[in-house]
Amino acid sequence: MHAANLGILLKKSLYILFIPFICLGSWLRAQQVPAYSPQADSAQHALPDSLAGDSIVQIDPKQALIDSLKAQSDLKSLVTYSASDSIIFDMDSNMLYLYGNVSIQYETTSLQAARVRIDWENETMYATGVEDEQGNLVGTPVFTEKEQTYQARELTYNFRTQKGLVKGARMNEQDGFILAEVAKRLPDGTFNAKGGRFTTCDLEDPHFYIQSKKIKVLPNDQIISGPLSMVIADFPLPIIIPFGFIPKMEQDKRRSGIVFPQYGDSPERGFFLRNLGFYTPIGENFDLLIDGDIYTRGGWRIGARSSYRKRYKYNGSFSLEYGFRKFGEKTDPDASRTTSWRVGWNHSHPIDPQTRFSASVNISSSNTIRELSFNQNDFYTNNVSSSISLQKTFANSPFSLNMTISHRQDMNKSTMNMDLPTLNLSMRRLTPFQHVSNKKSMEWLTRMGVTYNMQGAQRLQTIPDSLFIPILFRTRDSVDLYLTDTTFNRRSVSSFYDIGLRHNASASTSIKLLKYINISPSFTYAGYNYFESEKKTFNPQTNQIETRVVPGFSFLHQFSTSVSANTNFYGIYQFLGKRQFAIRQRISPSISYNLKPDFSDPKWGYYDEVQKDSLGNTLLYNRYQTGIYGSPSRGESQSIGFSLTNVFEMKYRKKESFDPDFDPKEDKFVRGRLLDNLSMSTSYNFAADSFRLAPFRFSARTQLLNNKINLNAGASMDPYSVVFDGEGGARRIDKLALARDGKLGRLTNAQVSISTSFRSEQIRSKKKSEEFDENEFQRIQNSLENYVDFDIPWSFSFSYNFSYSKFSPASDANITQTLRFNGDFNFTPKWKIAFTSGYDFRRKDISQTNVSIFRDLHCWQMSFSWVPFGQLRSYVLTISVKSPTLRDLRLNKRDQWQDRRLF
């Protein structure tokens, strides 16, 4: 309704009515809903339930709209408000009353409540809730300022001064809540709370809280309080902290601070503090964490970790650790002192669409993983590796370049191998003759493809950990390799370095013969470049062979050619019956012919002979056997290879497909595989002087019970006979076992593996995308190691592995059998048990076993991890708050394997 019409209705009250509208310069909006009957409010500032007199005007919410009113006002912006029941103006007192689902918006501030009263004279607002039929207070005020939300029992707010008084306040701060009897809001957004409590429990009556008589919440800064005490289950703990503060962890904003340590005691290392450190951001893209451990009986660790990220440019992390372990006193016979170190670096940097630099570095002393890590899986790690690479693809070119520095470390032997660097130039498969001819007879030429790859490296081989630095940086001319505690061999540093190049090229094509047979001829070439070779001579005085290195550039060649043919046959086995059960077998035979010269022939110059004893017997040796890429192989090959692969599939008609109401568009049959693979292969070498037939190799793979069980099997058989002598020895003879003994051959090795995994359905269905809780997801990501999924009642998986080998007829068979299983189950909705264990049938011993118990305590959580036996026997009991804000509020009781001597 326009302002002029509204003035006629109000007669002489026109001027009084316009004052609040002009002061507000506002819009009045409302939505018509079923009538709302407000009950009497017993709050201190009571709102009238019924108003009478010609100083009172009740506006129909549908008509409470003023289009354009411009006047001077002390308020900076428009106030927009609405109510579902009624809006009443008291012009004598200049009051505005709103009833039912009230919503008010002023600049970045909004309010929702059941009842609101606005005093235009003093520019104040009062809001409260109402009691429902059960006497519960509903519709309590919810006050939102920017992104901050506050709940209250009663709320008073001044639009002009932006001050407020809140009773029964509940404020969301980070992932927690501040509860206060009375809170005052200041114009800068600061809240001063009296009788305050901080908790991360979302219940009205929280399980725990930290209480203080005075709490100050600073905007975009931190929470400061007076003396603090902890209350759990309404029981105050006899611990008082004189003051406290909680920094506000805003998104994308990092803060410096102390990292609180874990504390405890170890029988052999004394009392300790672990992971005590300091964290600080360095600029916008970097941060740094320095932490360490200290033990009262000696021993310490110090580490530094830094992560960095620049959006759309690069990201990575760097870590460095050094530690000292001490057990016993120096005078003790079993005293030990060890030091360990570790360097880690991860980096990813896409320089441009064709160039990428990346690094994954993990270099350490051999004892580091077992002495510095608390991860049980690291204890069984035998090898670690690193790489730093630069990858480059050339636009409009088939070539790509990869330069890599790599490292491989054997923890058991305490040795390293490094490539400094490796250069790899690759050419993708090209078909240079694809446009030569369109004739059918020339298809083999148009399909011909060629590939090329060149690889070069400088390699450091078998470096002892203790000599890594002097050999890598060449700080010495020679080093001493200790063979025992008192004997050593002096070796020049340059002798650890080997350099080589390898070239690989191939050409292949395919031909279709008689429509169903695929013919694939191919040619492969390998070239090797080395800068030194070996020369062996016989020393008659010592009766031993001596080796010396001969410098000089060499180019070695190796090549071979092959042709293969394969096709498919199909057989269908139809069974009688109503369900139309059928099995289809696909048979894929393949035959190939391979030709390779004997590169040990003297004409190639790659092999040489040396006298090996005083009787004049000679030994054929490879002059390039220490080359980093190998060398041309010995022995001629003219072999035919055979392989036969079978796949069995089945189908049968669904039982429900016989129903008259069955949808004809739906498939009537169930299809599946009985055997994914059943194959056999062997080869026959015509150029060999004996044992021309290669061992038979068999393999099978299938899935059972609707793909729940995976089954894999394999075996090898030696087709030649064996003869035994009278002293228990045995040897192979060049006679087929089938002809001599009536058997296919002798089983030399076999493997069988079975694995399966089962899990129940989730207790509750997944949330819809619009119900996704971003805050909950972020909390899980911030403490992923503490997350336990109680929605899956149970899960179980196991694997069984059997291995048999007997390569020498006279030796005993080597049989290994292992069983591994793991699972978890909820024995109540809030209790979960997880377990991992196994059994070694050969050793007749239980393998590494872990048992974990989890208890969901709503806003707390309990976990108990136990390794009951073995070298790594230990336990850790943790009771902690779920919230990342109070992650240091925890109780730990532990006995860990790192605090004991394991060897």
Q: What pLDDT shows up at residue 45?
A: 38
- For the range 21-25, what are the long-range contacts, defined as Cβ-Cβ under 8 Å and sequence gap of 24 or more? 21/66, 21/69, 22/69, 22/71, 22/72, 22/73, 23/71, 23/73, 23/74, 23/75, 23/120, 23/123, 24/73, 24/75, 24/78, 24/79, 24/120, 25/69, 25/70, 25/71, 25/73, 25/75, 25/78
Identity at 79, one-letter amino acid code: V
pLDDT digits (tens, 9 = 90+) for 516-548: 999 999 999 999 999 999 999 999 988 999 999
Cβ neighbours of residue 740 closer than 8 Å, sequence gap 6 or more: 721
Strands 300-310 and 314-327: antiparallel
CA distance 91 to 87: 13
Q: What is the Cα–Cα distance from 681 to 691, expressed in whole angstroms?
A: 16
> Would you put residue 326 in left (φ > 0), alpha (ψ -120 to 50) or beta?
beta
Question: Is 220's pLDDT higher than 70?
Answer: no
Per DSSP, 762 falls in state: P
Give the model's pLDDT for residue 370: 67
Q: Are strands 27-28 and 79-82 parallel, antiparallel or unpaired?
A: parallel
Apex 639 CA angle, 637 and 645, nearest 5: 140
Closest CA to 178 of 138, 145, 218: 218
Handedness of CA 204, 209, 213, 218 (dihedral sign): negative
> What value does the mean pLDDT take over residues 316-323?
94
With both helix axes pointing from N to C terminus, report the angle between 14-24 and 3-10 in degrees, rounded to the nearest 10: 140
Q: What is the distance of C-alpha 322 from the center of its chain?
A: 26
Q: What is the pTM of this model?
A: 0.72
Structure confidence by residue, pLDDT tens digits, 631-646 = 999 999 999 999 999 9
- Asked whether the beta carbons of 560 and 595 are under 8 A apart, the reply is yes
% residues pLDDT > 70 (the chain): 85
Tell me, letter by letter, the H, E, C secondary structure of 192-205.
Answer: EEEEEEEECCCCCC
Reply yes or no on whether the pLDDT at 363 is more than 90: no
Residues near 165 by Cβ (< 8 Å), separated by ≥ 6? 155, 156, 157, 182, 183, 184, 185
Query: In whole angstroms, how far apart are CA 346 and each of 1, 289, 387?
Result: 68, 16, 10
| % of the chain surpassing 90 pLDDT | 38
Tokens of 734: 């060049």
Instruction: Kindly give, in sequence order, each residue whose CB lies less than 8 Å from that of residue 312, ignoring residues fewer than 6 positions away.
Output: none
Q: Omega before 793 cis (within 30°)?
A: no
Question: What confidence score (pLDDT) does residue 11 get?
Answer: 32
CA neighbor of 638 nearest in space, from 695, 601, 590, 684? 684
Decide: residue 698, CB within 10 A, 0-12 exposed, 13-18 middle, 19+ buried.
middle
The helix or strand, by DSSP H or E, that contains position 91, with its residue range, turns out to be none
Separation of alpha carbons 125 and 152, rounded Å: 14
CA distance 256 to 236: 31
Question: Would the pLDDT of 882 be above 70?
Answer: yes
Which residues is 105 bridged to in the sheet? Answer: 80, 110
C-beta separation of 299 from 315 below 8 A: no
Rounded Cα distance between 604 and 602, Å, is 5
For the ranges 243-252, 320-329, 501-510, the maximum mean pLDDT occurs at 501-510
Mean pLDDT of 476-489: 66
Q: Which tokens go with 667?
A: 């498939």
